[in-house]
A and B are shown apart, each in its own frame.
Chain A
Amino acid sequence: MTDRIVLRGLSKRYGEVVALENIDLDVASGEVVVLIGPSGSGKSTLLRCVNALEVPDEGEVLLDGKRVDARQGDIDRLRAEVGMVFQHFHLFPHLTALQNVMLAPRLVKKIAATDHGLALLDRVGVADKRDTYPDMLSGGQKQRVAIARALAMEPIAMLFDEPTSALDPEMVGEVLAVMRQLAEEGMTMLVASHEMGFAREVAHRVAFLDEGRIVEEGTPDRIFDDPQRNRTKAFLSKIL
């Protein structure tokens, strides 16, 4: 298997606060890696570095072997190669669900295929909402449209930044179901989440982050049933 996403010695500070400290992580093609850890442990910053929404102070990010650099000319194209799903959806409120999905392909790839957009909405189960504006969608529907929007650029990998944390409990399941389906189809996924059930069931690998470091990583069974580090044990005992 080839490595889709490679992080080498990634470090990021905000003034005195260390957000990431010397992170090494490889995500292979088709692999699902779930990042767990307390709030502020650096999960979000890590994902944002992959997409060049943050510029790391040290280290590098490689996508299919190509270096991600926010100052480089082809950064827009590289960004389009990984889909990003945000905690708070960030759908474009002035566009319908279908227009949200089709905006980037239309502008960046110069293709305006309604069929393609509809197929994506159908894939996440909201095809009947094609002409609905985001403020008339439920949280779960919004997040599913956001996933379809990210998929529209046919990314080589998907990043999920706590995709269910802003949802009402009864809507978490529908979003996780879409993510599970994506994983089964072989999508490469890097997911920051507090959904331990999802991590255990879907992840190939789980990494526990604390204070900007990867404290421990391994298969879900190993991390959840047999954590080696005290900090991992302490975190899991609080959350499970």
Chain B
Amino acid sequence: MARGREILFRAAITIALLGLLALALGGSSYEWDFAPAWQRRNLYLWGLGMTLAATGVAFVIGLVLGVAVALARLARSLVVRHIGDLYVEIIRGTPVLVQVTIAYFGIAPLIGVDNKFVVGTIALGMFAAAYMGEIFRAGIESIERGQFEAARSLGLSRPQTLRHVVFPQAFKRMIPPLTGELIALTKESSLLFFIGVMELMARGRQVGADTYRQFESFLVVAAVYLSVTIPLSLLARRLERRLGKSARAGVLL
């Protein structure tokens, strides 16, 4: 009951603050005109579509490559482990905008690929993999040693142990941070505008330039991003609460 009241209270505060903001902006000397943006609403929708596509593809690449990164960093072979470490250090130590730029203006021409979307999403996916690899690694390492030992003592091989015992447990713990990564990736996909992918950010610039209404255009862009990230964030919090509850119950028994 208390939770329901809190949600109502929060909603009321949010609406009040937005109202105050609207009053303040409306009362300023700036003359607002959202009509041109509204006329070009399809451009924003296409931009959103491109943003979601880039985010989705990059996320899937990040998942697959992230598992590989995590396994490499947990490998017994020092060579494999070191390659995994290097990958994570290099990706996390450089700005993603620099990586996307190198990928599109440097590597892509070398290998003869000229598709902005393909190059951009692969670069973004490789970037995400470094962070997601760390999430996977932490998840795998959070599974107690006894689980490995019980599985191995039953005759399961190392890959079988990972696949049937460790991953199913670790994955549950990784869902909240992975949702966070998905939110981050949604925002980071805006950098693809730099190489000319016509995603939401690029569409915002296009409309702003066409209509000489940058302020309005990017307020719309911000609102569209929020319409994606806020539900994801609420979902992540919900999952975290649910998983937290079951984990606590496990400790008590």
**Residues of A with Cβ closer than 8 Å to B?**
51, 53, 76-77, 79-84, 86, 88, 90-94, 103-104, 107-108, 135-137, 146, 149-150, 152-153
**Cβ of B164: which chain A residues have Cβ within 8 Å of it?**
103, 107
**Which 9 residue pairs spanning A and B have beta carbons closest together?**
A80-B155, A90-B150, A104-B154, A90-B146, A84-B153, A135-B250, A108-B155, A94-B168, A135-B253
Is B169 located at the chain interface by the 8 A CB criterion?
yes
A138 nearest in chain B by CB position? B253
**Residues of B with Cβ closer than 8 Å to A?**
144, 146-147, 149-157, 160, 164-165, 168-169, 172, 246, 249-250, 253
**Cβ of B169: which chain A residues have Cβ within 8 Å of it?**
92-94
Mind listing 27 A-B residue pairs with CB under 8 Å?
Answer: A77-B155, A79-B152, A79-B153, A80-B154, A81-B155, A84-B149, A88-B146, A90-B144, A92-B151, A94-B169, A103-B154, A103-B164, A104-B151, A104-B154, A104-B156, A107-B156, A108-B160, A135-B250, A135-B253, A136-B253, A137-B253, A146-B150, A149-B154, A150-B153, A150-B154, A152-B154, A153-B155
A70 nearest in chain B by CB position? B152
**Cβ of A91: which chain B residues have Cβ within 8 Å of it?**
150
**Cβ of A150: which chain B residues have Cβ within 8 Å of it?**
153-154
Q: A86-B146, A90-B150 are in contact. Are A76 and B168 (CB under 8 A)?
A: no
A77 to B155, CA, bound (A): 6
**Cβ of A51: which chain B residues have Cβ within 8 Å of it?**
153
Report yes or no: A79 in contact with B155, Cβ–Cβ below 8 A: yes
Known: A92-B151, A108-B156. 17 other contacts (CB 8 A): A53-B153, A81-B155, A84-B149, A84-B150, A86-B146, A86-B149, A90-B150, A92-B165, A94-B168, A94-B169, A94-B172, A103-B154, A107-B160, A108-B160, A135-B246, A135-B253, A152-B154
A108 to B156, CA, bound (A): 6
Report yes or no: B155 in contact with A76, Cβ–Cβ below 8 A: yes
